[in-house]
């Protein structure tokens, strides 16, 4: 069986497992397995393991008849060696996955006629909302813990949540800011606002979204939490 | 060098999973949103714009968006 056949077999097994999980009511797990990102990561991991062991498989040729020589390196523990190799491969997998998932698609070209200012604004709107969603979810999942141990994160999230009136609508502050940015984008498209105003607005929102992402990095990497 | 980078990446990603209370879907949704924004090549259609505004308005009922 070559590597392509192995990949096809693995994808079939993942699809079968997802179907079986869905049949038994485990829809969340089934959705995870059906997600292209997850299944792709599993296949990459399996292929890396496959390639590693195929590369390090012992040769079928008989050992040399020459007498053994003294070695300065002690024999490696096979279990420890495998765990170490798996840890290294997982690290490479994480790097490769994030590169492929996030950075490489960033090279997409704009369609003819698309206004780059509007497209950039919409990208900021998408990124910022995703970051607010994740940060507020992480904080809300254990708010008393964060209020005690990382009060600045808790306060930042509550600042984002503060009810704010926009027009006749009451919204959380972060949503109100994004809605206001979306309105400004429409004004710009209608020629009622300058590109400078729109760039200034979405740059500000982009900074706020980045701050939410930065908080996620801090709260998930602070020792002893 | 590569081992250091690999270990740093693992140390960054793995602690995130228990912290979010098992909702790996949220992290995946974030990755998918960032990816879709990076892949965007044209302006939103009116339908996408309306869906985005509706998602913003829906945060009023989202428990994660309710202050203490």
Residue-wise pLDDT for A138-168, tens only, equals 999 889 999 998 999 999 999 999 999 998 8
Domain assignment present for B68:
no
Residue A48, classed as helix, strand or coil, is helix
Per-residue pLDDT tens over the stretch A16-56: 787 777 777 677 777 777 776 677 777 777 777 777 666 66
Q: Which of residues 108-167 of A touch B (CB under 8 A)?
A: 108-111, 114-115, 118-119, 122-123, 125-127, 129-131, 133-134, 136-143, 147, 158, 161-163
Interface predicted TM-score of the whole assembly (ipTM), two decimals:
0.73
> What per-residue confidence (pLDDT) applies to A168?
87
Is B55 within a domain? Answer: yes
Q: How many CB pairs under 8 A join A and B?
A: 159
| Cβ count near B59 (within 10 Å) | 22
Which pLDDT score, from 0 to 100, does residue A65 have?
A: 47
Burial class (CB in 10 A: 0-12, 13-18, 19+), A150: middle
pLDDT value for A48: 73
The verdict on residue B54 lying in a domain is: yes
Give the three-class secondary structure for A19. Answer: helix
Q: Is A221 on the interface with B (CB under 8 A)?
A: yes
Which residues lie closer than 8 Å to A105 by C-beta, 6 or more apart? B35, B38, B39
| pLDDT tens profile A190-221 | 999 999 999 999 999 999 999 999 998 888 77
Q: Give percent above pLDDT 90 in chain A.
A: 41
- Tokens 């279990």 sit on residue: A79
Closest CA to B46 of A165, A185, A108, A204: A185
pTM of the model: 0.61
A94 CB neighbours in chain B (<8 A) are 6, 9-10, 13
CB atoms B5 and A158 under 8 Å: no
Domain containing B29: what range?
A: 23-62
Residue A136 exposed, middle or buried by CB count within 10 Å (0-12, 13-18, 19+): buried
Contact: A138, B5; criterion CB under 8 Å: no
| The pLDDT value given to residue A136 | 95
Closest Cα in chain B, distance from residue A46 (Å): 17
Q: How many domains does chain B have?
A: 1
Cα separation, B64 vs A73, in Å, equals: 56
Q: Which residues of A touch B49 (CB under 8 A)?
A: 182
Chain A partners of B7 at a C-beta cutoff of 8 Å?
A: 87, 91
- Interface list for A 56-115 with B (CB within 8 A): 87-88, 90-92, 94-95, 98, 101-103, 105-106, 108-111, 114-115
């Amino acid at each position: 069986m070559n590597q392509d056949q192995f990949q096809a077999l693995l994808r079939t097994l993942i699809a079968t497992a997802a179907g079986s999980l869905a049949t038994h009511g485990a829809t969340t797990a089934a959705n995870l397995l059906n997600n292209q990102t997850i299944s792709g990561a599993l296949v990459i991991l399996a292929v890396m393991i496959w390639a590693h062991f195929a590369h390090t498989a012992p040769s079928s040729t008989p050992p040399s008849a020459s007498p053994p020589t003294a070695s300065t390196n002690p024999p490696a523990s096979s279990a420890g060696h495998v765990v170490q190799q798996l840890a290294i491969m997982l690290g490479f997998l994480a790097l490769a996955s994030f590169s492929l998932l996030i950075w490489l698609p960033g090279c997409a070209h704009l369609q003819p006629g698309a206004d780059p200012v509007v497209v950039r604004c919409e990208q900021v709107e998408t990124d910022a909302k995703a970051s607010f969603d994740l940060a507020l979810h992480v904080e809300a999942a254990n708010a008393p813990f964060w209020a005690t141990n990382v009060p600045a994160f808790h306060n930042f999230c509550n600042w984002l949540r503060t009810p704010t009136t926009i027009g006749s609508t009451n919204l959380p502050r972060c949503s109100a800011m994004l809605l206001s940015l979306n309105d400004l984008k429409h004004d710009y498209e209608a020629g009622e606002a300058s590109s400078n105003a729109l760039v200034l607005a979405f740059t500000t929102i982009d900074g706020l979204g980045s701050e939410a992402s930065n908080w996620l990095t801090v709260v998930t990497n602070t020792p002893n939490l | 060098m590569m081992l250091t980078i690999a270990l740093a990446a693992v140390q960054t990603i793995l602690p995130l999973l228990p912290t979010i209370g098992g909702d790996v879907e949220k992290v995946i949704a974030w990755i998918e949103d960032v990816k879709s924004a990076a892949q965007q090549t044209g302006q939103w259609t009116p339908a996408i714009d309306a869906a985005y505004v509706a998602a913003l308005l829906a945060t009023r009922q989202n428990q994660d968006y309710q202050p203490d």
